[in-house]
């Protein structure tokens, strides 16, 4: 675990350097704060925050020079004691240009603001769409234009949007700050226009410099496009704080919260209670006891469906319903006596049935759900099929998919196949979803996938009259497994925003608490309708 945590720290520190030390130096020579400096200056110093979309773009677009952290910082944090989403373009990464993953990350930030009715703050410093990849970010439904659609939707929903133009703001990107409720600009460095001076000259022959075309004086004194201008980044960020300070409170969803208690176990006990060997059993309850408030855990049907833990608890005072995979060795009654058997993260029919009923209870009683994944999938084989595993699994998926309470997902270990879906994977709209450094996500394990793919390739070659020697088989198997294992990495998932980031397990409690507080801002939770569930 310590090696994995050291790697997490190293990768995080590298991300905070954006485009590198040289680029940061040139950026600061212009009198500008970095993307992270702006965020930290804006946030309340005595309050926690959590980063969203960390590692997005990790090891992607290598042929284009890379796009670390998708060229944008996104955090959920407090400004003047109000929970906000903050989006800060990193101009040290390709001048803040939008790669496809940048657009996806910005849309994720807006999604969180919209779902939870949170103010969103844009710190704009971007050269616009990265033109060599414009076909992958420009025209589709979830591409660049969706951002402005969301601007309009949030305005109609009464969600405050504040934009600060702190650098370039070009072409279609110019609409983002101007469609916000407040638009501020920094003198000398901020500029906003539909077309820069070069394009203006080539299009209509007019010769003009960028500052005159779309600088602070032009847009505050002549066009009125921007509200106010400020001499530097700090004064502009101070103005944002003053605006947020005046925003009124909104109705709450009413999730239960009482005075918090510390967990029974220390947070770092997770490191020793979670084995490195993912085939080795452990007791998930020991993991949970380092996250939930002491004395608050109340298991549901604890002697039934033992491969899933379902329990009511509190996290930092907030009421939660927990659904967690269990890999403990348990004693089971078998013909001829009692036998020990390992419950290796498999979901059986009884576990699926139990969790479906528990999820319905939490929805009925307005209790947020937290999923802890270490799942290899649903049980297979003739006995399970004849026992109706598909029907019971469908009940669980149906109840979870139709949930109206906020859902949070943490991938602790394995996240394979349909188990990922049933335990609220990204496709099922968790409000936040994070992976621990121990996570692996794929259709199946690397070993299983390697053997399956090898059999397919062997059959293909055999049909062509080619037979492999044993050495050739092992070489081919290793190549397949090495490539597959790379895709199992939690950083592979985080780079593509299948998860909101890879986190130190000790941060799990903080993220759950902040997430429920965010969700509590949305009083418009609909009445729960479970849909069609066969009993």
Mean pLDDT of 19-44: 96
| SS3 annotation, 298-331 | EECCCCCCCCEEEEEEEECCEEEEEEEECCCEEE
pLDDT digits (tens, 9 = 90+) for 337-396: 555 555 567 898 999 999 999 999 999 999 999 999 999 877 656 666 666 677 888 899
Question: Token digits for 494?
Answer: 């985080």
- Report the 10 Å Cβ neighbour count for 120: 23
Mean pLDDT of 59-74: 95
Mean pLDDT of 48-52: 97
pLDDT of residue 451: 76
pLDDT of residue 329 exceeding 90, the answer is no
Report the predicted TM-score, pTM, of the whole model to 2 decimal places.
0.91
Question: Token digits for 338?
Answer: 């009692």
Judged by DSSP in three states, 501 sits in coil
pLDDT of residue 381: 61
Q: Residue 534 — very low, low, confident or very high, per pLDDT cuts 50/70/90?
A: very low
Where is pLDDT greater, at 199 or 337? 199
**Which residues, at least 6 apart from 112, have a Cβ–Cβ distance to it below 8 Å?**
52, 76, 85, 118, 431, 432, 518
Contact present, 142 and 107 (Cβ < 8 Å): yes
**Which residues, at least 6 apart from 234, have a Cβ–Cβ distance to it below 8 Å?**
33, 41
Where is pLDDT greater, at 503 or 334? 503
pLDDT of residue 532: 47
Give the helix ranges, DSSP H, for 117-232.
145-157, 175-178, 197-204, 210-214, 216-217
What is the H or E stretch that residue 508 is in? helix 508-519
pLDDT digits (tens, 9 = 90+) for 225-236: 999 999 999 999
pLDDT of residue 535: 45
pLDDT digits (tens, 9 = 90+) for 289-328: 999 999 999 999 999 999 999 999 999 999 999 999 998 6
Question: Token digits for 292?
Answer: 């939930």
159: burial class by Cβ within 10 Å (0-12, 13-18, 19+)? buried
pLDDT of residue 409 exceeding 90, the answer is yes
pLDDT of residue 481 exceeding 60, the answer is yes
pLDDT of residue 285 exceeding 90, the answer is yes
pLDDT of residue 205: 85
Angstrom CA distances, 525 to 6, 169, 214, 375, 510, stand at: 40, 36, 43, 29, 23
pLDDT digits (tens, 9 = 90+) for 236-260: 999 999 999 999 998 999 999 999 9
Contact present, 23 and 68 (Cβ < 8 Å): no
pLDDT digits (tens, 9 = 90+) for 121-179: 999 999 888 888 988 888 888 888 899 999 999 999 999 999 999 998 887 678 899 99
pLDDT of residue 193: 85
Mean pLDDT of 186-207: 84
Contact present, 173 and 95 (Cβ < 8 Å): no
Mean pLDDT of 395-409: 95
Round the average pLDDT of the chain to a whole number and report it: 90
Where is pLDDT greater, at 443 or 94? 94
């Amino acid at each position: 675990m310590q090696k994995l945590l050291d790697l997490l720290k190293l990768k995080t520190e590298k991300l905070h350097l954006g485009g590198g030390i040289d680029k940061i130096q040139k950026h600061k020579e212009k009198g500008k704060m970095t993307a992270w400096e702006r965020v930290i200056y804006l946030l309340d110093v005595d309050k926690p925050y959590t980063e969203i979309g960390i590692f997005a773009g990790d090891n992607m677009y290598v042929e284009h020079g890379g796009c670390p952290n998708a060229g944008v910082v996104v955090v959920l944090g407090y400004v003047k004691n109000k929970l906000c989403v903050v989006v800060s373009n990193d101009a040290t990464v390709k001048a803040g240009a939008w790669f496809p993953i940048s657009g996806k990350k910005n849309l994720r930030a807006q999604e969180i603001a919209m779902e939870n009715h949170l103010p969103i703050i844009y710190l704009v410093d971007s050269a616009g769409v990265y033109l060599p990849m414009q076909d992958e970010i420009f025209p589709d439904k979830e591409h660049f234009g969706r951002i402005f659609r969301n601007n309009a939707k949030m305005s109609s929903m009464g969600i405050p949007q504040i934009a600060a133009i702190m650098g370039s703001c070009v072409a279609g990107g110019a609409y983002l700050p101007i469609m916000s409720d407040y638009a501020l600009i920094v003198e000398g460095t901020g500029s906003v226009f539909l077309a820069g001076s070069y394009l203006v000259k080539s299009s209509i022959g007019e010769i003009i410099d960028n500052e005159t075309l779309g600088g602070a004086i032009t847009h505050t004194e002549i066009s009125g496009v921007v509200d106010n201008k400020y001499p530097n980044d700090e004064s502009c960020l101070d103005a944002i704080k003053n605006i947020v300070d005046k925003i009124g409170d909104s109705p709450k969803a009413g999730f239960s919260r009482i005075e918090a208690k510390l967990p029974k176990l220390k947070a770092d006990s997770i490191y020793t209670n979670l084995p490195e060997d993912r085939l080795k059993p452990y007791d998930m309850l020991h993991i949970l006891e380092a996250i939930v408030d002491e004395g608050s855990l109340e298991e549901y049907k604890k002697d039934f469906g033992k491969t899933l833990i379902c329990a009511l608890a509190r996290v930092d005072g907030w009421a939660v319903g927990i659904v967690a995979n269990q890999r403990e060795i348990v004693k089971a009654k078998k013909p001829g006596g009692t036998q020990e058997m390992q419950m290796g993260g498999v979901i059986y029919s009884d576990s699926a049935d139990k969790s479906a009923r528990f999820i319905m209870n939490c929805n009925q009683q307005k209790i947020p759900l937290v999923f802890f994944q270490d799942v290899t999938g649903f049980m297979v084989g003739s006995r399970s099929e004849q026992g109706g595993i598909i029907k019971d699994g469908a009940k669980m998926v149906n109840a979870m998919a139709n949930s109206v309470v906020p859902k949070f997902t943490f991938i602790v270990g394995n996240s394979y196949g349909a188990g990922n879906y049933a335990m609220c994977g990204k496709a099922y709209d968790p409000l936040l979803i994070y992976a621990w450094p121990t996570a692996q996500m794929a259709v199946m394990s690397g070993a299983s996938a390697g053997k399956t793919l090898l059999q397919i390739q062997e059959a293909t070659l055999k049909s062509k009259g080619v037979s492999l020697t044993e050495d050739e088989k092992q070489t081919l198997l290793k190549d397949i497994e090495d490539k597959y294992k790379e895709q199992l990495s939690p950083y592979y998932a985080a780079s593509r925003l299948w998860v909101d980031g890879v986190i130190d397990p000790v941060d799990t409690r903080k993220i759950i608490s902040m997430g429920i507080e965010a969700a509590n801002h949305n009083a418009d939770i609909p009445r729960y309708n479970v849909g069609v569930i066969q009993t």
